[in-house]
Amino acid sequence: MKFTQPPNAMKKKCPLYLLLMLSCFPVFSQSSGLIAISGKVVELVDGGQKGVPGVTVSVADQDYDITDKEGRFLLHLKSEKSEAIVALEGCPYPIVSPYGGKIFIPPSGELQIRVCGQENKKLRQQIDALEHKVEGLESQHKLSQRQLSKMHEALLDTILYYEAVIHSLSNTVEEYESSLQERQNRITALENKVNGLEQELFVALEKKYLRQKELYEAISGGLEEYTDQVKNLRDMLLPDRISFYFLNEGAREQLYTTINNYNEARSFILNNHEGHVEAAEHYWAGPGISKQLNETYQYLLEDVHNEVVYPIEFSVNENLKLFLSRQLGRSRATAEARKGAEAAMSQLSPRIEILEKKCADMIQQLNTSL
């Protein structure tokens, strides 16, 4: 029988160096608020792995299950949660993968959780060194938890791959005494190579994820700044406010400041949108993200600015210039500016609403795929 919470008898959580393969199938309706997540707990042993039966897999205050003879289990987790911590009971080792036992909901593909006993000293040393490095990055707050988890997973995959190769060669050494020295040399060379490659990969992944985070902040910040400034400009150019700018110098200065702020936000998008679209294709693996970003930018630049904002801005600015240079009287200039604002304003607010939704969806997609 299963419960929505782990049993009270579970007192002490013991991490286990296991490989947890989680394949996720949302079998409940959206109204149920649950997602079914199946997986398998396996222990890393001598370059391979084996299922671990009788282990309690749980997520606090949600669900738990006991692995079968092959190490398989099934959990039902809340779909509104973006992440959860998986714990194991009834095993001698602590979880080391995913990093910190944290899974993201819904999982993207396979989610690996792995462990290793103290008797495998070489592998334990490498895993402990990896965790120390990732903990160092975490303490610097440079990367998101999702990025740290992906980085930890990629580096651990590399360590385990070469561990399997070394284990295979070690067995061959025992079988073929005549080539012992040659194969032992290959093992030593591979061990040295693993150490070097692992460090290179660590540096490369750190650089990649830092750049991805910089791009995310630039793209999301640019979109949010533009939507804020276009709403400020809309409020300043409401037809009922137009007459103030022909009567009061202070009101005109406020308008000019708002227009300058808007133009700076738009210029940032105009100058960087092509580079951001190319970067999104390179740094984000999610399908269609770069295309979606390009469509968002095109809507902002064409449908919002060129078709609506620019005509309003031009009409008000141009008539202010004519009035201040005494080429038009105040009444005529005010009427013309008001007419231009009224003509385009009916289109501006609904397009801003559409743009806000596009930008929010875009930022969410980028953040989810970090």
**What pLDDT, in 10s, does the model give residues 229-265?**
999 999 999 999 999 999 999 999 999 999 999 999 9
Q: Is the pLDDT of residue 351 over 80?
A: yes
Residue 5's pLDDT is what? Answer: 42
pLDDT digits (tens, 9 = 90+) for 299-311: 999 999 999 999 9
- Mean pLDDT along residues 321-327: 94
pLDDT score, position 111: 65
- Residue 37 forms beta bridges with which residues? 24, 75
> How many Cβ atoms from other residues are within 10 Å of residue 226's Cβ?
23
Give the mean model confidence (pLDDT) for residues 188-199: 79
Q: Are 28 and 61 in contact, with CB atoms under 8 Å apart?
A: no
The mean pLDDT value for 58-74 works out to 90
Q: What is the pLDDT of residue 246?
A: 94
Q: Which of 136-140, 236-240, 311-315, 335-339 has the lowest mean pLDDT?
A: 136-140
- The model's confidence at residue 182, banded by pLDDT at 50, 70 and 90, is confident
pLDDT at 210 over 50: yes
Dihedral angle at the C-alpha atoms of 129, 130, 136, 137, nearest 10 degrees? 160
Q: How many CB atoms lie within 10 A of CB 370?
A: 17
Question: Which tops the pLDDT comparison, 8 or 121?
Answer: 121
Please tell me the predicted confidence (pLDDT) of residue 24: 38
Q: What is the pLDDT of residue 356?
A: 96
Quote the CA–CA distance of 49 and 31 in Å, as a whole number.
38
Domains of the chain: 18-175 (no CATH), 209-368 (1.20.58)
Task: Work out the mean pLDDT of the chain and round it to a whole number.
Answer: 83
How confident is the model at residue 292, as a pLDDT?
95
Give the span between the Cα atoms of 322 and 311, in whole angstroms: 16
Find out whether 12 and 94 touch, Cβ atoms under 8 Å.
Answer: no
CB 198 within 8 A of CB 190: no
The answer on pLDDT for 21 being more than 60 is no
Q: Quote the radius of gyration of the chain (alpha carbons, Å).
A: 30
Non-local (6+) Cβ contacts of 165 within 8 A are 190
More confident residue, 6 or 244: 244
pLDDT at 40: 86
pTM, whole model, 2 decimals? Answer: 0.65
Lowest-confidence range among 31-35, 65-69, 158-162?
31-35
Give CA separation, 329 vs 229, 253, 332, 336, in Å.
Answer: 30, 20, 5, 11
